[in-house]
Amino acid sequence: MTDQARRDLELLRRFEPIVRYTQGELFFPMSAEPYIAACELWAGTSDRDAELLVPLGELTAATLPSHAGASPGKRQYLRFVQEPLSGPDLARWSRRPRRPRFTAPSRLARVGIVARLIDAGFDLSLLVRGKVPGGTMAAAQVKYAAIRETDPRYVYHGRVVRQAGWTVCHYMFFYAANDWRSSFSGANDHEADLEQCFVFVEERPDGDVVPVWFGRAAHDEVGPDLRRRWDDPYLQRDGDHPIIFAGAGSHAAYIEPGEYLLAVPLRLPRVVGSATAALRRLWVETLRQGSDRGGGGGAPIGSVPFVDYARGDGVAVGPGQPDAWSPVVIDDETPWVDRYRGLFGLDTYDRFAGERAPAGPKYARDGRPRQSWIDPVGFVALDATAPPARAPEVLRERIATLAAERDAEMTRIDTLESDAQALGAQVQALDRAGRSRAFIDTVAAERDAAAADLAAARATAEALRETIDEAHEEVARLESGDLGDPRAHLRMVVRPQSQQEIRRSRLLDFWSAVGVGLAVLFIGAVLVVDPGRIWGALAVVAVGYMAIETIIRRRVLQTLLDLTLILAAIAVVVLVATSLVLVLALAVVGVGLVILRDNLRELRASLG
């Protein structure tokens, strides 16, 4: 190991994160090498033409890159589970001794009726789209447990990148599987999982190393929302070690413990999406009905609600914790990182991509390099932010540039002042000499243009002066150590739900789970017995469902108010539709009265 590599490893260890998991988690960060050795290598463009390239037991991390290009035109992928557990084996696995237990209130009880209906549609979509077969995650846990018997380490893959004045400690966590759907009622399952986080530090000339930002990958956050400043009050740290709360099964990284209600959007047609968004704005923002939170709706219309449990009440790994990290340093020279562009688990060819395995740390599923690998500073939208110690110098350089621009603008103002005055004098001379109006107007147009340019130049010069003064003030603040609001860059902050939003009642949990299914069964029975009564059945289901929902949620008064507003809106529409001519006539008369009133006021004022 070179001296630089040794210093980089020390830097990684100095700021390595603490990861807290939820009770019931089955998979933890491991080295990618034993995982690869436990896989087969396949290639294909669909289930129909998939072919086995390397059988189980013959693949290693060192030999994996040698098979790149062995199947032109086909996507390569590893397969960790060769045979999912059968029904009886899955039942035995579920009843095994010392199995981690997980319980949670119903996620469907946290959202409204529409979200539950869409969730039912999402469940049905799993029947026709590519998905991980049932029993796969259980078989993956069995294989993972066998690997842990010989290699019990908790591993992160790390590297240090220096970019744009920043030193980036990049931590990657590789998991044998993502069992969010099967174990925690989440959105997806897939073999292999890769999560990551970053610590952005400033290495100063005096040898001091100062952590400034923490970044991590998360479901709904992008760009600047992926990072938190080191002094953010919501970022928990143990000394120089940031604390992550990993989502159960999904392994997404959160900086606050709790339960996160997520909305996974469906790919609705643009017209439908725009219409539903407009209806929601009218109902929630204009009429002040319902809510964007809790039982009132939770997930936006057209989205499927899921809960990511990041409670932090289970295994904890990191400095000062019961389990410590074993870092594995990787870079562009690591063969399985740089020369394998395939997937690291089963390719289900899911058209929504949720059930497909991820690619490796350097490449995305389409084979292109990940931004988080080649441009970690840009990944968290930090490329326009200078490190704190360099910021005053950078700003002073900008002040010098702005000052030069203002000097040039002041010189231009002098020229424009002379031109405008000369043209004004020329217009006056032409007018007195009796020249034609057309000729005078031509010169006057030049005068007016010069005057307009002069006014714009003076405004530009003043704006530059104000900007320079403000920049000098900012330099003073930065040099005093005042970096401003640590959360000013955030646009969409994802927060865990409150206990009031989570804890409802067992009756509501039960109704949320069975209500939609019972309604569908009832409609199906009516279609079988007497199809002619289907419209009455639909009305009964709608009214009955709303009544039960209202009683269980104890929202009788709110529901009555909602119905009153809906009926009033319908009445207005009917009235306008049946009396359109009268409405137009009244509108015309109203406009005429307004015009007459304003004109009479003006007449009275002119007469004194």
Q: pLDDT by residue (tens digit) across 454-492?
A: 999 999 999 999 999 999 999 999 999 999 999 999 998
Please report the pLDDT score of residue 492 as a whole number: 85
Whether the Cβ atoms of residue 220 and residue 202 lie closer than 8 Å to each other? no
Beta-bridge mates of residue 175:
193
Please tell me the predicted confidence (pLDDT) of residue 15.
98
Q: How far apart (Å, rounded) are the C-alpha atoms in residues 364 and 379? A: 14
The three-point CA angle 568-572-575 to 5° equals: 135
Once rounded to an integer, what is the mean pLDDT over residues 250-254?
A: 95
Q: In this structure, what token pair is assigned to residue 230?
A: 């080191």
Angle between helix 506-529 and 534-553 (nearest 10): 170
Q: Which of 27-31, 219-223, 271-275, 540-544 has the lowest mean pLDDT?
A: 271-275
Q: What is the pLDDT, as a whole number, of residue 289?
A: 47
CA distance linking residue 371 with residue 364, whole number of Å: 9
Question: What is the rounded average pLDDT for all residues in the chain?
Answer: 87
Model-wide pTM > 0.95: no
**What's 281's DSSP letter?**
I
- Single out the residue of 305, 282, 302 nearest to residue 293, CA to CA: 305
As a whole number of angstroms, the distance between CA 387 and CA 7 comes to 20
Q: Quote the CA–CA distance of 589 and 330 in Å, as a whole number.
A: 78
Q: Are 353 and 365 in contact (CB under 8 A)?
A: yes
Tell me the mean pLDDT in the region 137-163.
Answer: 96
Closest CA to 303 of 128, 122, 517: 122
More confident residue, 494 or 58: 58
With cut-offs at 50, 70 and 90, classify the pLDDT of residue 218: confident
> From the centroid of its chain, how far is CA 462?
40
pLDDT number for residue 514: 76
Q: Please check the confidence at residue 558 and state whether its pLDDT lies above 90.
A: no
Most confidently predicted of 482-486, 567-571, 594-598, 604-608: 482-486
Query: Is residue 76's pLDDT more than 70?
Result: yes
Q: Strand pairing of 241-246 and 253-254? A: antiparallel
Greatest Cα pair distance in the chain: 110
Give kind and range of the element (H or E) at residue 590.
helix 580-606
pLDDT grade for 83, boundaries at 50, 70 and 90: very high
The pLDDT of residue 219 is above 50: yes
**Euclidean distance between CA atoms 15 and 201, whole angstroms:** 9
pLDDT over threshold 80, residue 39? yes
pLDDT of residue 407: 97
In order of 528, 533, 559, the CA distances from 537 in angstroms are: 12, 6, 22
Angstrom distance (rounded) from CA 50 to CA 401: 60
Average pLDDT over residues 113-129: 68
pLDDT band at 292 (very low <50, low <70, confident <90, very high): very low
Q: How confident is the model at residue 402 (pLDDT cuts 50, 70, 90)?
A: very high
- Predicted pLDDT at 317: 98
At 295 the pLDDT is 37
The residue count for the chain: 608
Alpha carbons 85 and 97: distance in angstroms, whole number: 17
Residue 406 has pLDDT above 90, yes or no: yes
Asked if residue 19 lies in contact with residue 173, where contact means CB atoms within 8 angstroms, the answer is: yes
Tell me the pLDDT tens digit for each residue of 84-103. 999 999 999 998 888 888 88
- For residue 293, name the pLDDT band (cuts at 50, 70, 90): very low
CA distance 262 to 2: 45
**Whole-number Cα distances in Å, 314 to 100, 174, 321, 517, 523:** 10, 19, 12, 34, 44
- How far, in Å, CA of 50 to CA of 40, rounded? 12
Of 198, 185, 298, 295, the C-alpha closest to 250 is 185
How many other C-beta atoms lie within 10 A of the C-beta of residue 209? 14
Interval 173-215: pLDDT, tens: 999 999 999 999 888 999 999 999 999 999 998 889 999 999 9
Q: Which residues pair with 309 in a beta bridge?
A: 259
Say whether pLDDT at 286 is over 60.
no
In 56-165, DSSP assigns E strands to 75-79, 154-163
**Amino acid 291: pLDDT:** 47
Residue 559: pLDDT band (50, 70, 90) is low
Of 67-81, 259-273, 403-417, 436-450, where does mean pLDDT reach its minimum? 259-273
Percent with pLDDT over 90 in the chain? 60
Question: What is the reported pLDDT for 580?
Answer: 79
Contacts of 474 (CB under 8 A, 6+ apart): 395
